[in-house]
Amino acid sequence: MRRQIFAAACALAAMAAGSALAAPGVEVDPLTRQPLVQRPGAVGADGRPLATAIPREVVYFSGKYAPGTIVISTAERRLYYVLPDGQAIKYGVGVGRPGFEWGGVKHISQKREWPDWTPPAQMLKRRPDLPRHMKGGENNPLGARAMYLGTSLYRIHGSNEPETIGQAVSSGCIRMTNEDVIDLYSRVRVGTKVVVMR
């Protein structure tokens, strides 16, 4: 009887903890205790299936970067969020198309939820058909979240075109599915180091 009461108390505590605990079979981030992988069939707040072009996963990571660092391999078209103990969360990303590749070290200078988009002058010169400004929302090319990289024109952001993830199609920004960018956004802070490797 005591064992049953204890089990029931543990179950209630788990329910109270909410999103801090994952369902059985779902891996948990050792830093934040948040679920790492959405279960098949997961849906968004609007009831539509969440798009996952390339499922994120926890992998072994041998790079010598501190936990919490973002490492982007543009050749591999993957983003790694470094965890303790030689591991990282690997996400699929879209990267700059030929002529728009870049590399270097940046830091996240701003974070925005459902950001507005104002195409820079360089982009408008190439694409005068683009709007001069677009409010944040589902149709906005920056998607659900954006993390701005220093004073550069580049961002890590969501996308309303999940089919482009894993491809080289952007003007230099790093694209993620909205599901993945929301997950990464919840883990990083302003000041996070971002290493982009070509």
Q: What is the pLDDT of residues 73-121, one digit of tens each?
A: 999 999 999 999 999 999 999 999 998 999 999 999 999 999 987 877 8
Residue 69 has pLDDT above 60, yes or no: yes
Q: Please give the Cα distance from 43 to 7 (Å, whole number).
A: 30
Say which residue, 131 or 37, is predicted with more confidence. 131
Out of 10, 107, 133, 173, pick the active-site residue: 173
Q: Considering the chain, what is the average pLDDT of its residues?
A: 79
Task: Band the pLDDT of 54: cuts 50, 70, 90.
Answer: confident
Known catalytic residue: 107? no
Q: What is the domain partition of the chain in residue ranges?
A: 1-26, 36-197
Position 5 scores a pLDDT of 38
Q: Is 157 a residue of the active site? A: yes
28 pLDDT tier (thresholds 50, 70, 90): low
Taking residue 102's Cβ as centre, other Cβ atoms within 10 Å add up to 13
Q: Which of 10, 107, 133, 157 is catalytic?
A: 157
Fold category of 36-197 in CATH: L,D-transpeptidase catalytic domain-like (2.40.440)
What is the band of 1 on the pLDDT scale with cuts at 50, 70, 90? very low
According to DSSP H, which parts of 51-153 are helical? 121-126
Phi, psi of 107, rounded to the nearest 5 degrees = -130, 145
DSSP code string of 23-72: PTT--B-TTT--BSSPPTT-B-TTSSBPP-SS--EEEE--S---TT-EEE
Q: What's the confidence (pLDDT) of residue 20?
A: 36
